Structure 1
């Protein structure tokens, strides 16, 4: 039975601004935003610096392995942190996960070879996955229900600056100094983030009534991580062997996922299961389209790489603006906002069907992706709020890890499918037209199940 937390109701209750930036909260609020920003900068920067990194330590055929190592380790870190937080509280994870992430940055920055760099990427992935879960658990413990929309707006904004300046800064560092600074330059910020959250984290103990152990979580996480790695590999190896590996990965992945998410997630059962399912649909649709949009604009319409990045920038701005808007309106229905978010993302993806053909109108990608970003700001923040509202204290870690896991798995699977479609259909235009139709169906399904995410009266 869900037992949503309640917010203070007395006339002396602090305002949302005081809850976020009062003397006792300012440090932890800034620290949480900085923790998310670190992962965002690393994510945006590494993609830009990867060609220089691979040229230095490996070969073109090794290009995908640093991403695969990070993604697989994130799955295990996410699940392990969720279980630990539910039994022991988030204190150790909040303090330890950023240090593991920082150790990974240090290893990568000093790596003399590709295998050592992959060790660093594994540490980064494990730390990033774990701290993402711990951030959600801490938000549930520290902030009232009324303040959470504003907190999640800040969390969303933590991706905006990295999205805008991360790639160009990483490019300058890689070209003028060394790709190693893309990793090493973040280390001081790791120390600062830990210092900011340390006092609040130290006060967080174990839940009063820890949930009995859920069997098979770690083996399931390892199986899912292996499957994610295989699917990511298949995306770059769309051969007959790749197809066999991909099918085998899905056979392993489905039963593993059933262990790692709330019962009923795969059929979007009403309640938290529907929230987790919607998270996978929203992330899979938006981030897969985002991943392939630059390819469409450069390969089919001849845009430069710089120009092809413009829709992604306006999408980030739209996400930040709409997330901030919903954060100032805690009284609005989150399932309704979620449906509106899916509608925006679905409309934008439908519009890409007019961009994908060679005769398509390429400039439409810019306003369309501003609309998609607006939808993500409404939908993603609403899902984060609903997730915590459905979660008793002893389940917050498990539910948070399940939601983040659905993010990771949906993106890995659907991006892999997209790569396969482009290869099998022998053309970017035809492959992406089919992919966008699939993503549109995901958005429509998400809009249809939005009502199932509502809290029971």
Structure 2
């Protein structure tokens, strides 16, 4: 791809859409990194240690409902109104969490926030598909990943400083205000564009929404299984059954069987997301609980990984076509496995925290290679009529994969909390998932994701 092609996303025709979309990703990155950093303090302040994992997995679970609803809405019309609705829900959820008097209310705000987060992601993917030519998609998604650079530098430590010197509530309330301001810019730049598909999908969506509700309910039940006492094994089994059965209609056929092409793309996303994000929420907790780090320094522990994520995304955007999907899979999963095994060893043998931080950064590099490539492949396998469905399927696999893994890790961590093996166990689960991602990762295929010359 030529330098001229690379620069076109910043040309006058696209620059405002690019800036607006990148701003939305930037704020999502700030929010994600900030909450991961301050949640140990939040749970301690509100007496909600038992709901620590639910505060993350619950948000991911309800995001599925937003993904399905917005994906269907986008397939019928322009993505502008769905994006506006998603942003409204996201901001409302942040406000509820920011003013929460108890952990239960905070979790409720996080559930509402999830509805908006899921819808916002899908709507932005459809905006990219309908505004930018296919040959520019890789560059746009590389820019999305690069939008994590500044949040990676300042987000975790800034969130820790805000929580330490002001109050953790401002982490939620501040992001809410900035998101509202950023969306005003996005809406002004998109409202005059015709982004509706020429052949809208008119199929019924009620059934898809019902499946999404069941998936979210199953994931939430799994998150709360640890609180059900002797019924826990039954709740876990029933929840997993509901999740798997309800997911099938929301994903491309043969996804759960790692089918070649789009099904493999979607399944790989679930596995690598579960591996990294499931383990990542325990990284600052380990640094604070076991090493005595302050929130500021615990936040800095996430910075190196996020910076290398951006570097990996930039490398994928420039050399991804030359590397090919199989090499990206092998290199990316190897880096993710190295990061999670390093974290396991650190927790197990109480190694120097520098080992943990440096090792964890490798996972960021691997995800930077794989994440934008998977998104490019999803759009390459799509048509204008199913861009919304496929984009929502990708985001659903991401969120439910993470939610199920986080819920499982929460159960394991709580069960082993008295033995001192909780941290090493959750990181070992993440390492196993990184290896398992090779199965669909080597079946990605090609969908003419590069323009014909």
TM-score range, shorter chain: 0.7 to 0.9
Distance 1:201 1:323, change over 3 A: farther
Match of 2:395 in 1: 404
**Structure 1 residue 69: deviation in Å?**
5.0
CA offsets per residue over residues 372-409 of structure 1, 9 Å max, x none?
11101101111111111111111111111111111111
Distance 1:27 1:252, change over 3 A: same
Query: Is 1:234 aligned with 2:203?
Result: no
**Equivalent residues of 2:61, 2:403 under 8 A apart:** no
Distance 1:131 1:202, change over 3 A: farther
SS of the aligned residue for 2:368 comes to: helix
Q: Aligned to 1:288, which of 278, 292, 296? A: 278
Q: Aligned to 2:91, which of 95, 102, 126? A: 102
Q: 2-side partners of 1:113 and 1:398: how far apart?
A: 37
**Equivalent residues of 1:85, 1:397 under 8 A apart:** yes
Q: 2-side partners of 1:51 and 1:350: how far apart?
A: 23
Greater CA drift, 302-311 or 441-450:
302-311
Distance 1:427 1:106, change over 3 A: closer
CA offsets per residue over residues 250-282 of structure 1, 9 Å max, x none?
121111111211111101111111100000111
Match of 2:435 in 1: 444
SS of the aligned residue for 1:354 comes to: helix
Query: Is 1:87 aligned with 2:76?
Result: yes
**Equivalent residues of 2:409, 2:426 under 8 A apart:** yes
**Structure 1 residue 438: deviation in Å?**
3.7
Distance 1:362 1:174, change over 3 A: closer
Match of 2:242 in 1: 252
SS of the aligned residue for 1:357 comes to: helix
SS of the aligned residue for 1:267 comes to: coil
Distance 1:318 1:230, change over 3 A: same
SS of the aligned residue for 1:262 comes to: coil
Distance 1:189 1:425, change over 3 A: closer
Q: 2-side partners of 1:353 and 1:435: how far apart?
A: 8
TM-score, length of structure 1 as denominator length: 0.85
SS of the aligned residue for 1:210 comes to: coil
Q: 1-side partners of 2:256 and 2:102: how far apart?
A: 41
Distance 1:443 1:300, change over 3 A: same
Match of 1:10 in 2: none
Q: Aligned to 1:224, which of 215, 224, 229? A: 215
Q: 2-side partners of 1:44 and 1:435: how far apart?
A: 19
Match of 1:267 in 2: 257
**Equivalent residues of 1:300, 1:358 under 8 A apart:** no
Distance 1:91 1:359, change over 3 A: closer
**Structure 1 residue 320: deviation in Å?**
1.0
**Structure 1 residue 136: deviation in Å?**
0.7
Query: Is 1:142 aligned with 2:118?
Result: no
Match of 1:170 in 2: 159
CA offsets per residue over residues 69-108 of structure 1, 9 Å max, x none?
5334312111111111112231211233223323333454
Distance 1:216 1:202, change over 3 A: farther
Matches within 5 A, 1:12-411: 15-50=4-39, 59-60=47-48, 63-64=51-52, 66-67=55-56, 70-109=59-98, 120-186=109-175, 187-211=177-201, 212-213=203-204, 216-234=207-225, 237=227, 239-296=229-286, 308-329=298-319, 331-332=321-322, 333-358=324-349, 363-411=354-402
Match of 2:451 in 1: none
SS of the aligned residue for 1:169 comes to: helix
CA offsets per residue over residues 154-210 of structure 1, 9 Å max, x none?
211223333442333334444544444333323144233332344335424432223
Q: 2-side partners of 1:327 and 1:389: how far apart?
A: 15
**Structure 1 residue 214: deviation in Å?**
5.3
Q: 2-side partners of 1:41 and 1:456: how far apart?
A: 33
Q: 2-side partners of 1:176 and 1:298: how far apart?
A: 16
**Equivalent residues of 2:333, 2:435 under 8 A apart:** yes
**Equivalent residues of 1:79, 1:217 under 8 A apart:** yes
Greater CA drift, 170-179 or 80-89:
170-179
**Structure 1 residue 311: deviation in Å?**
4.2
Q: 1-side partners of 2:166 and 2:393: how far apart?
A: 40
Distance 1:192 1:313, change over 3 A: closer
Q: CA RMSD in A?
A: 3.2
**Structure 1 residue 309: deviation in Å?**
4.5
**Equivalent residues of 1:338, 1:383 under 8 A apart:** no
Q: 1-side partners of 2:267 and 2:123: how far apart?
A: 21
Mind listing any 5+ residue stretches in structure 2 that lack a counterpart? 449-453
